[in-house]
Amino acid sequence: MSKAHFGLIGLGVMGENLVLNAERNGFSSVVYNRTFAKTETFLNGPGIGKSIRGAKNLQEFVDKLERPRRILMMVKAGAATDAVIEQISPFLQEGDLLIDGGNSAFKDTERRVAQLESKSFGYIGMGVSGGAKGALEGPSMMPGGTKASYDAIESMLTKMAAQVEDGPCVTYIGPGGSGHFVKTVHNGIEYGIEQILAEAYDLMKRVCGMNGDQIADIMGYWNSTEELSSYLVEITEACLRTKDSTDGINVVEKIMDKAGQKGTGLWTVVSALELGASVPTIYASLNGRVMSSMKTQRLKAESILKGPPVKTLDLGSFDDGMAPLMDAVVLSTISSYAQGMELLRKASNEYNYKLNMPSIAQIWKGGCIIRSRLLSRIQDAYRLDSKLTNLLIDPWFAEQVNRRLPGLAKVVAGAAEVGMPVPCFSSSLDYINSYRTGRLPQNLVQAMRDCFGSHTYERIDMDGVFHTDWIK
Ligand code: 6PG
């Protein structure tokens, strides 16, 4: 029997769909799962009649693969990934390539690339985005590692990836853990946009008294605009329209208001703090999830801490697409992207990833969770100025900010007046206001630091480092 082109370890939903995608694109495959029963279920189910075979153990798995072997691991990030690497390493030979397609922490990938590339076989850390459907129909993929390793799988990945008007949604990201770093930041932006849409929903529901279908109608309208047309707005509309078949009540209203997380949003924020990148919108979305998980405490506090009464606010009407609220959503979404891109730029300099910003925007245009029409504008912005420090000052984005800032301010002020939490809207407003302020009050912070700790300061009227004897 001829040897297979491609091997997959880990038959979770992403693994299953990626191997079906590879097979559909002409790559005969072998699959291995820790429990063989799962392999059998897959082969007799979705894998039936396809050029996909199973293997009971890793020896059989590698024997069934043509050389050089191309093996994709879709296993849980962390210890499980290390365990699979350890088990399969003895079977791999010169030229073989092991790809980690899970949501690994980029520092783990840095370590693994360094360790494994010295062992003669190649190692790629690849972010894969798009959920189950994307994996099957065409995901966005962010592979990092050596260029030689990437070259060995490029033709396969370009066939498997989502396709947009200017090419497949995959590109060589850079060395080491850069692929997983870019995926991590993708997820940070994803957290931001999810929270932004949740805040808009909350205001429409609790302040404007709109029902699920009415809010869904607004999402549908927003999804038709250049600024907000995106996968996340599209699925928000779908979620809000879904009714429980037993009683016709919106399913969203029956969901416990506690958001989980698997780590990537946290890693984005930790990296930003380490690199000195400002990501308040993304941080606010992470904190929103943390706060949401404190359900018992919040319920108790609700009866003790009284906010102002919730009254009606002018957030626009259906006819104007909730104009001020749309301003808030657009600018907060832009802030989330701007902060993510800024973090990528800083990481690229710090870790020498040499990230190609227009290419990253391009591969996020299709297949992935944060795909949106805005990404074409982001791509243009970095094409226009490859050294762009912040998306906000690109002419197209600056026009959006200048036009929509009053709307965002109105929404944040109104929310504060009625005691509604809008962490992403308010942190985006502060982010934009801080960024557009040439002189911030940190001169006073510097004075205090120098006063109590002789930390010294610089002056705006002369060069040098100064200390003042503040308390005579
Ligand atoms: C994607 C997603 C996916 C991620 C989930 C869950 O790009 O397909 O980012 O990889 O794992 O969205 O993330 P949280 O559980 O942390 O929300």
Express each pLDDT in 237-277 by its tens digit: 999 999 999 999 999 999 999 999 999 999 999 999 999 99
Residue among 193, 230, 369, 372 whose CB has most ligand 1 atoms within 8 A, to mutate: 369
**Is pLDDT at 106 greater than 80 in this prediction?**
yes
Last residue of a domain, one of 176, 203, 225: 176
pLDDT of residue 119: 73
Does one domain contain both 229 and 341? yes
Q: What is the CATH number of the domain that holds 275?
A: 1.10.1040.10
Please check the confidence at residue 120 and state whether its pLDDT lies above 90: no
- Which residue's CA is minimally distant from atom 4 of ligand 1? 187
Residue ranges making up the domain that contains 469: 443-472
- Percent of the chain scoring above 90 in pLDDT: 95
75 and 194 inside one domain: no
Task: Kindly tell me if the per-residue pLDDT of 337 is higher than 90.
Answer: yes
Residue among 75, 103, 104 whose CB has most ligand 1 atoms within 8 A, to mutate: 103
pLDDT at 118: 74
Dist. CA 187 → ligand 1 center (Å): 6
Closest ligand 1 atom to residue 191 Cα is 17
Which protein residue has the closest C-alpha to ligand 1 atom 14?
Answer: 261
CA of 143 to the centre of ligand 1 (A): 17
Is the pLDDT at 465 greater than 90, yes or no?
Answer: yes
**Ligand 1 atom nearest to 262, measured from its CA:** 16
Q: What are the tens digits of pLDDT across the range 270-279?
A: 999 999 999 9
Q: Which of 183, 199, 365, 410 is catalytic?
A: 183
pLDDT of amino acid 447: 98
| 133 and 196 share one domain | no
Residue nearest to atom 9 of ligand 1 (CA): 187
Give the per-residue pLDDT at 311: 79
Nearest-CA residue for ligand 1 atom 1 is 129
What's the pLDDT at 354? 97
Q: 126-180: per-residue pLDDT in tens? A: 999 999 999 999 999 999 999 999 999 999 999 999 999 999 999 999 999 999 9
Tell me how many domains the chain contains: 3
356 with 469, same domain: the answer is no
Active site residue 190: yes
Same-domain check for residues 243 and 97 = no
Per this entry, what is the length of the chain? 472
* Atom from ligand 1 closest to the CA of residue 140: 7
Confidence at residue 13, expressed as pLDDT on a 0 to 100 scale? 97
Residue 1 forms part of a structural domain: no
* Tens-place pLDDT, residues 19-39: 999 999 999 999 999 999 999
**How many A from CA of 247 to the centre of ligand 1?**
31
Q: What is the number of the ligand 1 atom nearest to the C-alpha of 370?
A: 7
Atom 7 (ligand 1): residue with closest C-alpha?
Answer: 129
Of ligand 1's listed atoms, the one at least distance from the Cα of 131 is 8
State the pLDDT at residue 340: 98
Residue after which a domain boundary falls, among 109, 141, 176? 176
296 domain-assigned: yes
Q: What is the pLDDT of residue 312?
A: 81
**CATH assignment at residue 466:** 1.20.5.320
Same domain, 165 and 206: no
Distances (CA, A) of 306 to 204, 297, 411, 420: 21, 15, 21, 12
Banded model confidence at residue 355, pLDDT cuts 50, 70, 90? very high
Among the options 16, 23, 110, 190, which is catalytic?
190
Which pTM does this prediction carry? 0.97
Do 237 and 280 lie in one domain? The reply is: yes
With a CB cutoff of 8 Å and minimum separation 6, the contacts of 262 are 77, 103
Is pLDDT of 208 > 90? yes
CA 203 to ligand 1 centroid distance, Å = 25
Model confidence at 204: pLDDT above 80? yes
What pLDDT shows up at residue 224? 98
Which residue lies with its CA nearest to atom 8 of ligand 1?
129
Whether residues 421 and 320 share a domain: the answer is yes
Q: Which of 13, 106, 187 should be mutated for ligand 1, with most atoms under 8 A from CB?
A: 187
Distances in Å between the Cα of 173 and the Cα atoms of 71, 107, 212 are 19, 16, 40
Mutate to test the pocket of ligand 1, among 169, 193, 262 (most ligand atoms within 8 A of CB): 262
Same domain for 53 and 195, yes or no, is: no
- Name every protein residue with a CB atom under 6 angstroms from any ligand 1 atom: 103, 129-131, 187, 190, 260-262, 264-265, 368-369
Residue whose Cα lies nearest atom 17 of ligand 1: it is: 261
Look at residue 197 in the predicted model and tell me its pLDDT: 98
> Residue 333: its pLDDT value, please?
99
Rounded mean pLDDT, 411-432: 97
Using the atom order of ligand 1, give the atom closest to the CA of residue 261.
16
Tell me: do 139 and 188 sit in the same domain: no
Domain boundary among 176, 199, 218: 176
Ligand 1 atom 10, closest CA: 129
Banded model confidence at residue 81, pLDDT cuts 50, 70, 90: very high
Same domain, 24 and 136: yes
User: What is the average pLDDT score of the chain?
Assistant: 96
Residue 1 has pLDDT above 80, yes or no: no
- Residues β-bridged to residue 164: 167
Map the chain to HEC letters.
Answer: CCCECEEEECCCHHHHHHHHHHHHCCCCEEEECCCHHHHHHHHHCCCCCCCEEEECCHHHHHHCECCCCEEEECCCCCHHHHHHHHHHHHHCCCCCEEEECCCCCHHHHHHHHHHHHCCCCEEEEEEEECHHHHHHHCCEEEEEECHHHHHHHHHHHHHHCCEECCEECECCCECCCHHHHHHHHHHHHHHHHHHHHHHHHHHHHHHCCCCHHHHHHHHHHHCCCCCCCEHHHHHHHHHHHCECCCCCCEHHHHCCCCCCCCCHHHHHHHHHHHHCCCCHHHHHHHHHHHHHHCHHHHHHHHCCCCCCCCCCCCCCCCCCCCHHHHHHHHHHHHHHHHHHHHHHHHHHHHHCCCCCHHHHHHHCCCCCCCCECHHHHHHHHHHHCCCCCCHHHCHHHHHHHHHHHHHHHHHHHHHHHCCCCCHHHHHHHHHHHHHCCCCCCHHHHHHHHHHHHCCCECCCCCCCCECCCCCC
Separation of 102 CA from ligand 1 center, angstroms? 10
pLDDT at 422: 98
User: What number does the ligand 1 atom closest to the CA of 265 have?
Assistant: 16
| Mean pLDDT for the stretch of residues 38-51 | 97
> How far apart are the CA of 90 and the centre of ligand 1, in A?
32
Residues 102 and 221 grouped into a single domain: no
